[in-house]
Structure 1
Amino acid sequence: MGQKVNPLSMRLQVHKGWVSRWFSGKRGYADWLAADIKVRDWIERRFATRATIGRIDIERSANLATITIYTAKAGVVIGRGGQGAQEIKAQVEKIIGMPVRVNIEEIKRPELSAKLVAENIARQLERRINFRRAVKMAAQNTLNAGAKGVRIQVAGRLNGAEMSRREKEIRGSVPLHTLRADVDYHLARARTPAGIIGVKVWIFKGEAAQV
């Protein structure tokens, strides 16, 4: 039986960092963790149809929480005249219960973000685009953007088939066991009339310097 581990968690402290950075005692830990999950869920739902959010980092100090949103379309998140950023700040302050600073960082190459690639494929599958075409185009675009390798796996009732199956597309090399390899990973779900199709994406960007 295969022993599988998330490529991101396996590389923590090697060259990957935590998306939540704070320290709490036993009493406040559960409340802060639940608030982090609520914040991420709310932001993801707000921009769910556009597949623009690559990562959300949350950092807390004694009296301030800093939310950094990495997005492929900064203008969509900021909104006209900064209205979108103000709405995010107000809602997050309600959830967290402390002053919040919102930073919005633009992702220069969305083709190198496993989350954005996986969600883009999932949205195409929901629009009933042929899965082979969607996967092959995504893999080629990722390689063209400068990745050393990409692996995409889709599983479920592909193209509305009677039986579920699993299909893979591998381009270049993706060394999952090499800790110094900078591998980005994400799992997305496409909700189709035939059922849920899982989309997994691994992107190898080259070897990273250890921290």
Structure 2
Amino acid sequence: MGQKVNPIGFRTGIMLDWKSRWYASKRDFAELLLEDKKIRDYVTKKYKFAGIPKVEIERTRDEVKVVLHAARPGVIIGRKGQQVEQLQDELQNLIGRRINIKIEEISRPELQAHLVAEDIAEQLGKRAGFRRTMKRAMEQTMEAGAKGIKIELAGRLGGAEMARREKQITGSIPLSTLRANIDYGFVEAMTPQGHIGVQVWINKGMFEDDTDGADAQEGQTSKKPKRSYKR
């Protein structure tokens, strides 16, 4: 049986940075880890329609910096930034620390695997045909500039009595290549027949690595013609 590895966890610490950036002693680590989970669960549940695929958390001695990557930042900001201040107060009451919120807009939500999976799950919840939904999502992602996409659905597809898996792939998905920028998302679709798992892999190309290119250029031999000696 093949072993499946989360592409993001596989590359974290090598090609990708951690989503939580802080250091703590062994005594405080579990408590701070639980606080991070509370913050992420609260934000993603409250702003379900803002399209938040990633929440980054940085800690200093004085405050906790929360960076929200959102496809629709206006839903979080609100009029004159009032909702941001309200969210900041709610998070401070939740964990009892000073919170600093920063919002970054996602320019191309079609290239975010979690958002694509959420869109597919929403369509399945509205009883749309799963094959047509998968095909439309793949076309939109490839048109946005992706190198490849794989979508896998698991559950009672189409209301069938027996659960099964359906998979569609377009382009290339090199899962074992660490330099390949593979994004991964998983969402559960709530349907009247039961839950359907939606997994999405998106290949955004290769990570930029300028240092290797510079070293390779320096290591090349000179292309000057050899000097000829006359006898």
Which of the five TM-score ranges fits, normalised by the shorter chain? over 0.9
Shift of 1:91: 1.3
SS in 2 for 1:188: strand
C-alpha separation between the residues in 2 aligned to 1:94 and 1:18? 26
C-alpha separation between the residues in 1 aligned to 2:111 and 2:71? 11
Pairwise CA RMSD: 1.2
Identity %: 48
**Contact 1:15/1:209 (CA < 8 Å) preserved in 2?**
no
C-alpha separation between the residues in 1 aligned to 2:200 and 2:182? 10
Residue 223 of structure 2: aligned partner:
none
**Contact 2:50/2:73 (CA < 8 Å) preserved in 1?**
no
Shift of 1:4: 1.4
Shift of 1:112: 0.3
Residue 153 of structure 1: aligned partner:
152
Residue identity in the other structure for 2:62: N
Normalised by the length of structure 1, the TM-score is 0.96
Superposed, 1:1-211 pairs within 5 Å as 1-48=1-48, 50=49, 52-210=51-209
Task: State how many pairs are aligned.
Answer: 210
Moved over 3 A (4+): none
C-alpha separation between the residues in 2 aligned to 1:3 and 1:154? 18
Shift of 1:14: 2.2
Shift of 1:96: 2.5
Shift of 1:51: 5.6
**Contact 1:51/1:119 (CA < 8 Å) preserved in 2?**
no
Normalised by the length of structure 2, the TM-score is 0.88
Shift of 1:28: 1.0
Gap regions ≥5 residues in structure 2? 212-231
Gap regions ≥5 residues in structure 1? none
Residue identity in the other structure for 1:116: L
C-alpha separation between the residues in 1 aligned to 2:22 and 2:93? 19
Shift of 1:209: 2.7
SS in 2 for 1:53: coil
Shift of 1:92: 1.2
Higher relative contact order (CA 8 A, sep 6+): 1
